A and B are shown apart, each in its own frame.
Chain A
């Protein structure tokens, strides 16, 4: 599974987990197993604001573009993300949502 990301400032971080051709996006399962090779499936099919671009399968590999939510202090790796290829099931490690600035506490 080949994942591209479209970064967007959002309040809710992206949470992703893969099981074969099924992606769990923030708790909701999306099954892409019925996408055939070279088929271009419109994003509207999935009624998810995380999936904003068409889904396709090239040479048996599913190609997806997902919104990558980030906070106001996100690192460059999140703001300009690189695509990733998933080969294993389980939770997906994503670029960091935000850099938490430690509270300055002077005692």
Chain B
């Protein structure tokens, strides 16, 4: 018969043995260590300076001091010295400092949970069920890295299956994102958990991103096109027809462009600086001083700017007086304006000639006849008069200065101003 037990190496008392109590107590010592095994710490390296009787440590592979050379053993302080016991495969011990139950496997103490695998279900703080086989009730769930990055993977079997994250409020779903029935990423939302609409789709095949805020596709962005099917507003668009923000989009009517009804910007002052564009006058008679003449107060205006230097512009502006275009220029951003230049055409080449300071202010040529004969007056000041084939007695139109009289007063040539 062996002299100790096979598993715990407890010494047997031999027949007729003397000092039986020694052998018996030695066995009890070992039982005191290994029964309901509780260690102060796993992987202990240095013996405590004042160990309490009965304290057990599971030693490190290379312990120091009184433990030197006792690699991986259990050490109990019996009040006088350390009792060392070799653990066996499968022993269980509770670590006080780790607050963890471990088993002795392959020469080291390993956490019991290290072997959790192929569980049917797991509930943390709540109960799992056959559908939700992993359930967690917690303020937060942390998935952290193990030195670098971290991925959470949601895998489905085939394309028609679903791999999504569903957001619920009171167990009523309101948002779901992921691969819902196909292999495009989509975001669905619901006000009540019953009616759902697809608010956003990132199509992996078509390589497009579609937005449908209320279920109807309103915007699609692809690699080559950005389609928007609702009116654009906000700071990306001009706030009014004269908004000079260089990055704002222009709607119809901006600077008068494309306006078919009334032009959005009507001016009471015909000489204020404006962005290049089409405008219209709306000045009262009190404002006529800032327009070329009275009819042009009510007509469309074409305004064009040329940059001279930073913040300085030459403004060229065309007004219309009926069918007559009138052009004016300011070379100092609208601070001062030159005299108007009227264009001559079929409506005003012939008419009433007038002048202002020597410059034409009326038609180019005037023709008239009265009891004293006929005359032609030119905008440059030249005037001719004749009286049929008879001599002129009184000029049919007034001359100033010297008159050149030809052929016995039949033709007078001179100036009218």
Contacts and interface: CB of A to CB of B under 8 A. Distances in A.
A10 to B, nearest CB: 5
A77 B298 CA distance: 35
A35 interface: no
Nearest to B354: A11
B352 interface: yes
- The binding surface of chain B is classed by DSSP as loop
A81 B377 CA distance: 22
Given A10-B398, A72-B352, A104 B368 contact: no
A7 B298 contact: no
A70 interface: yes
B369 A79 contact: yes
B396 interface: yes
Contact of A10 (B298, B322, B397): B397
B366 interface: yes
Given A72-B353, A73-B352, A9 B368 contact: yes
B372 A7 contact: yes
Interface in A41-60: 49, 52-53
Interface string B384-408: 0000000000111110000000000
Interface residues of B, number: 20
A6 interface: yes
B370 A80 contact: yes
A13 interface: no
A69 B397 CA distance: 9
B351 interface: yes
A72 B370 CA distance: 11
- The binding surface of chain A is classed by DSSP as loop
Interface in A86-104: 103-104
Contacts of A70: 370
Contacts of B322: 104
B294 interface: yes
Interface in B340-372: 351-353, 366, 368-372
B371 A9 contact: no
A100 to B, nearest CB: 11
Contacts of A52: 394
A9 B394 contact: no
B396 A7 contact: yes
Interface string A1-42: 000011111110000000000000000000000000000000
Given A73-B352, A103-B295, A104-B295, A8 B366 contact: no
A42 to B, nearest CB: 15
A70 B353 CA distance: 13
A71 B295 CA distance: 22
Nearest to A67: B394
Given A72-B366, A103-B294, A6 B398 contact: no
Given A52-B394, A104-B295, A7 B370 contact: yes
A6 B294 contact: no
Contacts of A71: 352
Contacts of B368: 9, 72, 74, 79
Nearest to B293: A103
Contacts of B398: 8-11, 49, 67, 69
B279 interface: no
Nearest to A9: B397
A79 B375 CA distance: 12
Contacts of A107: 298
Closest A-B pairs by Cβ, 4 of them: A9-B397, A7-B370, A72-B352, A79-B370
6 contacts: A6-B371, A8-B395, A70-B370, A72-B366, A79-B369, A79-B370
Interface of A: 5-11, 49, 52-53, 67, 69-74, 78-81, 103-107
Interface of B: 294-295, 298, 322, 351-353, 366, 368-372, 375, 377, 394-398
